Structures are given as structure tokens and as C-alpha cells.
Amino acid sequence: MIYEPSEDSFLLLEFVKKTVKEGMEVLDMGTGSGIQAEGAIENKGEVLAADINEEAVNYCKKKGINTIKSDLFENIKGKFDLIIFNPPYLPEERDYFGIKMSKEDFNYVNDIALVGGKHGWETMERFFSKAKNYLKKDGKLLVSFSSLSGDVLKIIEKYGFKHRKLAEKRIFFESLYVYECFR
Ligand SMILES: C[S@@+](CC[C@H](N)C(=O)[O-])C[C@H]1O[C@@H](n2cnc3c(N)ncnc32)[C@H](O)[C@@H]1O
């Protein structure tokens, strides 16, 4: 299964289009359908896309996007001007109006496109802990997450990044955010 572009994808894409300039070296982490990579390619960025999901990798390759299979930075070489990541950001357990819902209530829990770990932020923490090694000196991260993801800003700061909120959008149960992070 490949993540179907949703509200979070479209919100992030707006900023990909505003940020990517001709010749920028861009990594689209967790590319899924390739929506962010395609936005960057339209702006004439030099794009490498990566995903842990082989189905997504093959799908994007067929579309002509330069894509590799990688668990986060495992197979990534080089440094980029921009790293985009719309990560899996939902927690395994969620609380709806005081009612705790968990694995038994949701069938999405094992979906690597959606669930970031027990609290939601675990995959993001792994990402932020390594991201600096793959950024050029003035490189930036463009990331999205949700009010359900836990204290992501604390994690961003823990790994030495400054951050700026670019967008916040309220949807049914949550708020979606887009942040840029830099040294
Ligand atoms: C929320 S989807 C976003 C997909 C697409 N970028 C978009 O904006 O619509 C998260 C994507 O991250 C991928 N992913 C999850 N864990 C990953 C990991 N450890 N390394 C690389 N990709 C991962 C999933 O397979 C999925 O395609």
C-alpha cells in the first residue's frame, strides 16, 4: 500500500513549491507516491527520493523519479540543500475525547506510512538525530507533523536545529504543522 496524498501532503507541497529553486539538491525522505519529489522536480530541483516501502520505491521509479529504498538515511550518500519529510507521525495509541483507542481499535497501527511509534515522534527522532550529516552548511529541513505527534519541537531542538512554523491547519481531530528547520 502506498500513502495516498492527503491534507498533510498538500499542505507541505505548498512550501516545497515555494522553497525549491533551480539546481537545488533535494532529498525527499518517505516519498510515498512521490508527490513532494514531483513538486521539487517541477521547480527544477535535483531530486533523490527515498522510502522504506519497496512498493512506493518501484512506483516512483516507474514515474521516472530517481528513487532508492532506504530506512531513513541508511542508504543515503551526499549532502543536500533541502531535505523534505512528511513522516509517519501518529502514535500507536490515541485518545479521543477521553476514550483511549489502541491497536485493537484501529487497523492502521501497523501501517508504516502513518504510525511513527508508541508516542508518534519516534521515527522523527531517528530522522532528526542523523539529518545534520546530510545537510549542506546552509541546508534546511522541511517537515510536517501533527498535534497528535507529541513534543516534536523539543526533539528538533535536542538535535541542535532552530525552527520556524510555516503553516498550521486545523482538521478534524488534529492540527497539522509545517516547519522549516535549520542550523
Ligand atoms: C505520511 S507518508 C508521506 C508520503 C508522501 N511523502 C506524502 O507527502 O504524501 C510517510 C512515508 O514515509 C515512509 N516511511 C516510513 N518510515 C520510513 C523510514 N524509516 N524510512 C523511509 N521512509 C519511511 C512511508 O513508507 C510513507 O511513504
**pLDDT tens readout for residues 140-169:** 999 999 999 999 999 999 999 999 999 999
Angle between the N-to-C axes of helices 7-19 and 35-42, in degrees from 0 to 180, rounded to the nearest 10: 20
Locate the ligand 1 atom nearest the alpha carbon of residue 71 and give its number: 20
Distance set, CA 66 to CA 6, 38, 93 (Å): 23, 11, 35
**By C-alpha distance, which of 89, 79, 134 is closest to 112?**
89
Q: What is the count of structural domains for the chain? A: 1
Buried b (16+ CB within 10 A) or exposed e, 44-78: ebbbbbbbbbeebbebbeeeebebbebebbeebee
Could you give phi then psi for residue 164, rounded to 5 degrees? Answer: -140, 130
pTM of this structure? 0.95
**Which of 5-19, 76-90, 107-121 shows the lowest per-residue confidence on average (mean pLDDT)?**
107-121
- Residues 17, 41 contacting (CB under 8 angstroms): no
Average pLDDT, the chain: 93
Residue 1 lies in a domain: no
Residue 44 lies in a domain: yes
Residue 91 lies in a domain: yes
The residues facing 28 across adjacent strands are 49, 84
Residue 2 lies in a domain: no
Ligand 1 centroid distance, CA of 72 (Å):
9
**pLDDT tens readout for residues 15-63:** 999 999 999 999 999 999 999 999 999 999 999 999 999 999 999 999 9
In this structure, the residue with its CA closest to atom 6 of ligand 1 is 31
Rounded mean pLDDT, 117-141: 96
Ligand 1 centroid distance, CA of 41 (Å):
18
So what's the pLDDT on residue 111?
A: 78
Residue 145 lies in a domain: yes
Ligand 1 centroid distance, CA of 138 (Å):
25
Distance set, CA 42 to CA 19, 34, 52, 64 (Å): 12, 12, 24, 13
Q: Domain holding 72: CATH number?
A: 3.40.50.150
Between CA 55 and CA 64, with CA 128 as vertex, the angle to 5 degrees is: 30
Confidence of residue 96 (pLDDT cuts 50, 70, 90): low
So what's the pLDDT on residue 113?
A: 85
Rounded mean pLDDT, 127-139: 98
Residue 157 lies in a domain: yes
* Residue 144 Cβ contacting ligand 1 at under 6 Å: no
Q: Quote the domain boundaries for residue 11.
A: 7-182
**Number of C-beta neighbours around residue 15 at 10 A:** 20
